[in-house]
Amino acid sequence: MNFCKPERNSYFMNPENIKNSSGRSPVSNSQADLKNRLRTLPQVKAKPDFDQKMAALFSLELDNEIQRINQAWLRKSGKIRLPELISDLRTELF
């Protein structure tokens, strides 16, 4: 009779391949459980006044942008001057 020496089966040496009663690997079960726990972490959402704050910031950003564009345009066109404040209408108009 030819008795084969039982070999160390590398398949079962890997804990991923050991199945529990439900036929699933306890290692992957544990990973899946962790993934589920991470997925069910409470969602952090924006506060109700966030939109209002953001709109204010954005409006400031637009103002700054317009100022930057105007200044750049004025720098390019050196001959153009913005109108000065009219101090005395009688001397300016008549």
Please give the residue ranges that form the binding site for another protein (CB under 8 A): 15, 18, 20, 26-27, 29-31, 33-35, 37-39, 41-47, 50-51, 53-55, 57-58, 61-62
Residue closest to 73 by CA, chosen among 84, 61, 82: 82
CB of 16 to another protein, least distance (A): 11
Fill in the amino acid letter for 74: L
What is the DSSP secondary structure assignment for residue 16, as one 8-state letter?
Answer: G
Q: Which of 90, 74, 72 is nearest to 82 (CA)?
A: 74
- Of 44 and 82, nearer to another protein (C-beta) is 44
3 vs 11, beta carbon nearer another protein: 11
Rounded to a whole number of angstroms, the minimum distance from the CB of residue 70 to another protein is: 16
Residue closer to another protein (CB basis): 4 or 13: 13
Of 43, 38, 42, 12, the C-alpha closest to 30 is 38
